[in-house]
Structure 1
C-alpha cells in the first residue's frame, strides 16, 4: 500500500470502520492507519477490537476501539457521537460489519431475517444519517460499504437472507450517492468475491476452498488486503469523480467461464 500512496495520504483524516476487529475489517483499519488516518474500530466483539487496536498502537498507529451492536440504532448514534466529539469531524465512514449465519431457506425465521437486515442494510442508513453533521464539518468525505457478489450477482445456498440484504445495500449506495453528492460526500461499495477470512472458512472445507481458488482466473482466493486496497482507492482523491458505484473484487470469478462455479 505504501508503494502506491504517500505515507501521509490520509494524515489528519478521521476514519470509522465497523466490523474492524478481524478479517477484511481489520485489513481496512490497518491500511488507513498506515497511511496516517486516525481510525476507530467499531465492533460488537469489544475485547477482540481492543486487542487489534492495541496491536496497531504498538506499531505507532493511531487506532482506538469502541463497542457497537449495529442492529441497535441507538448504539450507532452513540458510536458516531463519540467519534465525532472526540475528533470534531468524520472524513471516511466504512460499514464493513456483516451478519450471515448459514441457514437453509426454509429455516430462516423472522428474528434471523430482522437481525440480518438490521446489521447489513439498515446500519449503513443510520451510520450515514448520524455521520452527516460531522462529515459536513470536514467539508465532505466518503461513505463506503462492503457489499458482496452474493445477492447482487450470484446466489449461495443457505444465504438467502444475506443475499437479500446485500442486494438492498447496492440500491442504498446508488440512492445515497445521488442525495449526498451536493454535500460533497461520495458513496461507493466494494463487492468481495471469495476472500480468505475466518468467516469464509465457515462456509466450506479446505478442499472446497482449494477447488474455488483453482477455478478463479487469477488463480487464488482473495486476501483481506485486496479489499482494503479497493477501499483506500475509493476514499482517495484518485476516485474523486466516482460515486454511486460498487467495485467487484473477485479475481475474475464472475467472468462467464466461471460463473457457474459460484451459483
Structure 2
C-alpha cells in the first residue's frame, strides 16, 4: 500500500476503459476511494462493480467533460458521497485520425472540446473541493504527440494535448497557494484497446522505434500517476513526466542500430 493515498478521494475522468481504467484500478488497489467517471453511466457502474468485487472502494458517476454543468453536478455528488475530493485525474480524451485536408470545423472542435476544454472544465468543477483538501493533486493525461512529436492525422489531437500543458503551467501557479499541485503525464505508445485498433503494422513499427523495445503498459502510466498524487510528490508542480520507453530520445532510427 502507498500509505499517503489510502482513504483519499480520487476523481478519474474517462475511467471506464484504457489508461483511465488502469489508473482507477491502481488507486483502488492502493486503498483510495475511487470515483469512476464516464459519460455512459452503465459502463462506469460496471467498472466500479468490478473493483468492488475485489474488495476495493469504488463508485460510478456520470459526467460528460464537454459539459461544465454535468461536471459540476458530478463533483458535488462525489463530495457528498466521499466527504471531499483530494485528487483529480483529468484523463478523458479522444483521438480520431483524419488529415487536415479532410477535417471539418466540427471535428476539430470535438477533439479540442473533449481534450483541452474538458481538462479545464474538470479542474474548475473539482476546484472548490480540492481547495478544502489537506493537499490537492491534479494529474492531467497529455501525450508525447503535440507537446513533443507529431503524427499525420493527429493535428487536432496534438494541438489539444499541447494546449493542456499551457493550461497546466498557469494552473500550477494559481493553485499553489492552496497547496494544490498540477502536473501532467505524457504517455508514448501504450498498449490499450484504442492502440490495438490501429493495427499490427503500426504497433510493430512503433516497437522498432522505442529503445526499450516494447510498448508501454497501462500500469506504467497508472503507477506514475499514483506517485504524482502522493504526499511524497508534494514539491513537484507544473511539470511533465514523459513515459515513452525512450521513444523521443533518438534523433533518427540509426541511433538504435548500435
**TM-score (norm. length: structure 1):** 0.92
Written as runs of structure 1 = structure 2, the 5 A alignment for 1:145-164 is 145-164=140-159
Determine helix, strand or coil for the equivalent of 1:137. Answer: coil
Q: In the alignment, what sits opposite 2:219?
A: 225
Q: In the alignment, what sits opposite 2:206?
A: 212
Is the aligned partner of 1:201 residue 2:196?
A: yes
Aligned counterpart for 1:142 among listed residues 134, 137, 140: 137
Determine helix, strand or coil for the equivalent of 1:156. Answer: coil
Distance 1:34 1:9 in 2: 13
Determine helix, strand or coil for the equivalent of 2:7. Answer: coil
Runs of 4+, deviation exceeding 3 Å:
257-261
Q: Is the 8 Å Cα contact of residues 173 and 187 (structure 1) preserved in structure 2?
A: yes
Distance 1:157 1:136 in 2: 40
CA separation of 1:13 and 1:214: change in aligned 2, threshold 3 A: same
1:127 Cα offset (Å): 1.7
CA separation of 1:7 and 1:140: change in aligned 2, threshold 3 A: closer
Distance 1:72 1:153 in 2: 29
1:202 Cα offset (Å): 2.8
Listed one character per residue, the Cα deviations across residues 214-260 of structure 1 (whole Å, up to 9, x for unaligned) are 33111100011100011001111221110000100000000024579
Written as runs of structure 1 = structure 2, the 5 A alignment for 1:1-16 is 6=1, 8-16=3-11
CA separation of 1:259 and 1:71: change in aligned 2, threshold 3 A: farther
Written as runs of structure 1 = structure 2, the 5 A alignment for 1:18-29 is 18-29=13-24
Q: In the alignment, what sits opposite 2:181?
A: 186
Aligned counterpart for 1:77 among listed residues 58, 72, 75: 72
Q: In the alignment, what sits opposite 2:45?
A: 50
1:128 Cα offset (Å): 1.5
Determine helix, strand or coil for the equivalent of 1:134. Answer: helix
1:110 Cα offset (Å): 1.7
Q: Is the 8 Å Cα contact of residues 216 and 258 (structure 1) preserved in structure 2?
A: no
| Alignment gaps of 5+ in structure 1 | 1-5
| Alignment gaps of 5+ in structure 2 | none
Report the number of matched residues: 255
CA separation of 1:141 and 1:85: change in aligned 2, threshold 3 A: same
Listed one character per residue, the Cα deviations across residues 87-116 of structure 1 (whole Å, up to 9, x for unaligned) are 231100001110121111112212112121
Q: Is the 8 Å Cα contact of residues 9 and 36 (structure 1) preserved in structure 2?
A: no
Q: Is the 8 Å Cα contact of residues 13 and 37 (structure 2) preserved in structure 1?
A: yes
State the Cα RMSD in Å.
1.6
Distance 1:258 1:86 in 2: 51
Distance 1:45 1:225 in 2: 24
Q: In the alignment, what sits opposite 1:3?
A: none
Determine helix, strand or coil for the equivalent of 1:166. Answer: helix
Aligned counterpart for 1:30 among listed residues 20, 25, 29: 25
